[in-house]
Structure 1
Amino acid sequence: MTDKDFKLLLKRFYELQAERVETYHLFDEGHQAYMKSGPHYDFIQYRMLVHEITQAFNGISKEIIQMKDRFQEVYDRSDLAEHLEKIQELEKEKLSLTARLQLAKQNVQDHPSQESHKEEVQQLKHKIIKTVEAISEVLQDFKYDCEEIQ
């Protein structure tokens, strides 16, 4: 494999991360529309959205796992493979937290007098922020470790 192949692999990784960001944006927009359909929520439409979002994230994850293997096996760069593995773990955590946050927001909307739901929303938002910060740190490490090639 050449430096050009390596650079194309890096470029594709960053494209996939951008796709993740866009997918989260669509997920958030869809959830906002779902919340506006309350109190008789359009669950069928939302379930279709969740299915599409899940498929998008699965496709991105599969491709990144393949990249991780290429960094490990083709380029003998276990450092980069480890970064991708950590990013995958953090992205999985972020998605789980995001789903929990959406449910918590619905609980706040459906039961506005229960403070525990509002507290849960705040706690989940904080955890998501911390997870995004951790992803950013790993992305910085990944970029730093790749700079010698570029």
Structure 2
Amino acid sequence: MVPSDLKTLIQRFYNLQSERLETYRLFKEGHEAYLRTGPQYDFDHYKQLVHEITQAFSGISKEVLEIKESLQHDFDRPDLAEHIEKLQSKEKQKLELTAKLQLCRQQAQDHPEDEDCRDKIQEIKHEIIKNKEALSEIMQDFKFDSEDCD
């Protein structure tokens, strides 16, 4: 259900971004708990977590895309819709990087002698930092362009 006024729509978008951040926090905590179950690993429990996280991200993305469409077509705000388009692309990249990081962390835990794993972890962490900076910039642009809606 997409709100019918622009200010409410924008507030809902911000709320969804907060939900996304919380979902990342839960994903990270769940993965750390999973790593603590090694070397046998409680994969079934982790698989359930990944399923729940995937559903949460999917629901958030679906609603964000509905907001983007509403901004584009109902409110004639292609500028704001474009920010959301860029944001969704960066969020997808962030999720992919997060999954890669988790796989590398498990590999590093299973093979502590493997220097390449530690290097790869640092490389992915750096990519995530750059991604978060880009996300922050997009959010700043969105905030600036949407301030005239207040």
For the superposition of Structure 1 and Structure 2, which TM-score range results when normalised by the shorter chain?
Answer: over 0.9
**What root-mean-square deviation, in Å, do the aligned CA atoms of Structure 1 and Structure 2 show?**
0.8
TM norm structure 2: 0.97
Partner amino acid, structure 2, of 1:118 = R
CA distance in 1, matches of 2:55, 2:139: 23
Determine whether 1:33 maps to 2:30: no
Q: Percent identity at matched positions?
A: 57
Query: Structure 2: which 5+ runs fail to align?
Result: none
Q: Which residue of 2 aligns with 1:81?
A: 81
CA deviations 1:37-81 (Å, max 9, x no partner) are 000000000000000000000000000000000000011111100
Q: Which residue of 2 aligns with 1:24?
A: 24
Partner amino acid, structure 1, of 2:20 = R
| SS of residue in 2 equivalent to 1:147 | helix
How far off its partner does 1:148 sit? 1.2
Q: Which residue of 1 aligns with 2:65?
A: 65
Partner amino acid, structure 2, of 1:72 = Q
Instruction: Give the aligned length.
Output: 147
Q: Which residue of 2 aligns with 1:119?
A: 119
Determine whether 1:133 maps to 2:126: no
TM norm structure 1: 0.97
Large movers: runs of 4+ above 4 Å = none
